[in-house]
Structure 1
């Protein structure tokens, strides 16, 4: 069985955290981008973060956050990682990493081969790279749009840092995505929801099962 690490992003309730824990995911993502249907405030996130057991990495997703916001976030919550999902430059990524002393994951949108150069550039300064589907032009959300991209673009790629595959993954397609790309980590948000921002425990369990290729993605 391959060692596939799963990140479930956009958790909003204690039940979400419990479902992610029960499924054996490696990362729990909390979204602090107000325009997202998955967003939480720092006050709402605190009991969720505290409920995450040891070994479940607590990741804060932010979009072009300034120092004031990141200061407040890191002071309010015991986090394990910052996920930068905006248009942060490599210099800004390096600055955030140095200022807060937390591992930083940088999301990079991919639509064609020309986008892959940015993955290399950010791998020089980030601890991990999230390779996501590039959002449509004028999209409100930088991620979580349920869109895939051509996985052949990243098949068998090797970068300087660990990377995570995202973008339109579901229990039905994640095993194929892992086999095609050889990704060792996968991220999902909308693919385990019954409605925007509403996580489904059965879909979370099915997704993690399918990602690890333990068997068919059984939904109960």
Structure 2
């Protein structure tokens, strides 16, 4: 695990805002390919825009129950480094993507409780897990869950922590020592509108976590 969690900014949807967030040097940038999302980037960001992202920043495509062929087409078109599967995708779907060299993040929704046994079928079929707060939408609901539910995590797959992370959580997250914690996923709480990130709030969060 890294000494401090890596940082992912998810839900990028505008070229000018993308350039401003790239300047902050996150470790990952997330792009949502789910048309029902308010942060859907299909009409606003081109492959040429994503091509301007430096190689050191890994590009993550977020999909919800999309066919494997569609996911692979978007990986090739937009130069994605990882795919994040945020629906009810099976272990077999994850394995099919990994079999052709695509790194997979499988997301799980966490409510008041969470059964870690749900993850067992995915072992060996994913590169990372992502834990998000259960809500009306597959992601980006803006609320946090009880991180203590992950205190007993003992699996060999590192994970992204998502779900309403905010600038007010910065100090607690900097000192958070959960087993398996690999990266923090920032989205709706750092926006001025869906898909438009508040770069000043992000800068403050990055500074708090990285110093």
TM-score (norm 1): 0.85
Is the Cα contact below 8 Å between 1:61 and 1:82 reproduced in 2?
Answer: yes
**1 CA distance for matches of 2:73 and 2:111?**
34
Give unpaired runs (5+ residues) of structure 1: 215-220
**2 CA distance for matches of 1:92 and 1:201?**
35
Is the Cα contact below 8 Å between 1:64 and 1:87 reproduced in 2?
Answer: yes
Aligned counterpart, 2:57: 56
Give 1:13 deviation, angstroms: 2.0
CA-to-partner distance for each residue in 1:44-96, whole Å, 9 max, x for gaps?
A: 24133111012000110000011332232123121111110111011221122
Is the Cα contact below 8 Å between 2:142 and 2:188 reproduced in 1?
Answer: yes
**2 CA distance for matches of 1:78 and 1:158?**
33
**2 CA distance for matches of 1:210 and 1:156?**
27
**2 CA distance for matches of 1:118 and 1:208?**
32
Deviates more, 1:64-73 or 1:54-63: 64-73
Give unpaired runs (5+ residues) of structure 2: none
* CA shift in 2, pair 1:68/1:43, >3 Å: farther
* CA shift in 2, pair 1:122/1:207, >3 Å: farther
**2 CA distance for matches of 1:21 and 1:211?**
17
Number of residue pairs matched by the alignment: 208
Give 1:42 deviation, angstroms: 7.3
Is the Cα contact below 8 Å between 1:12 and 1:45 reproduced in 2?
Answer: no
Aligned counterpart, 1:217: none
1:209 to 187, 204, 207: 207
Aligned counterpart, 1:147: 143
Aligned counterpart, 2:196: 198
SS in 2 for 1:206: helix
Is the Cα contact below 8 Å between 1:123 and 1:129 reproduced in 2?
Answer: no
Residue correspondence of structure 1 range 62-101 to structure 2 within 5 A = 62-98=63-99, 100-101=100-101
* CA shift in 2, pair 1:175/1:118, >3 Å: farther
RMSD: 2.1
